[in-house]
């Protein structure tokens, strides 16, 4: 007996908003429609709390994979502006949010089937 697994791609690509502490500046960050699960395995395997360098690389790699290229320059400019208050912890939260977001499956019955 074998089992068949069917992938899932969301209908609408995800996005999230960034806001400066004073609320004066906001940015909607558009993401790619789907990231392969292997990107999250890479992310998880590269997280090392004892190495800030490895942690930063893992977060950066995930963000650059998830954020659409046409949005990346605006995102980078927003996080690079010290007035916007985007800390390393907040970037880590964004990476975690993306993990949750891309990990969600549809609520409809699963299309998985067993093959006899």
User: Cα separation of 14 and 102, whole Å?
Assistant: 8
pLDDT at 62 over 60: yes
pLDDT at 110 over 50: no
Q: What is the mean pLDDT of residues 8-25?
A: 87
pLDDT of residue 92: 87
- For 67, residues 6+ apart whose C-beta sits below 8 A from its C-beta are 29, 30, 31, 32, 75
Among the listed residues 85, 64, 63, the one whose alpha carbon sits nearest the alpha carbon of residue 18: 85
pLDDT of residue 11: 67
Share of the chain above pLDDT 90, in %: 42
Q: What is the mean pLDDT of residues 48-60?
A: 80
pLDDT of residue 106: 54
The rounded Cα 42 to chain-centroid distance in angstroms is 13
User: Cα separation of 69 and 60, whole Å?
Assistant: 14
pLDDT of residue 10: 65
Average pLDDT score over the chain:
83
- If residue 104 lies in a helix (H) or strand (E), which one and from where to where? none
pTM (predicted TM-score): 0.76
pLDDT of residue 114: 46
């Amino acid at each position: 007996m074998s089992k068949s697994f069917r992938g899932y791609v969301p209908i609408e690509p995800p996005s999230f908003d960034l806001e400066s502490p004073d609320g004066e500046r906001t940015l909607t960050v558009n993401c790619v429609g789907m990231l392969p699960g292997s990107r999250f395995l890479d992310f998880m395997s590269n997280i090392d709390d004892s190495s800030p360098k490895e942690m930063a690389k893992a977060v950066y790699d995930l963000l650059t994979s998830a954020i659409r290229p046409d949005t990346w320059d605006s995102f980078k400019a927003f996080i690079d502006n010290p007035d916007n208050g985007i800390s390393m912890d907040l970037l880590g939260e964004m990476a975690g949010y993306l993990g949750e977001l891309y990990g969600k499956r549809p609520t409809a019955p699963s299309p998985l089937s067993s093959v006899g």
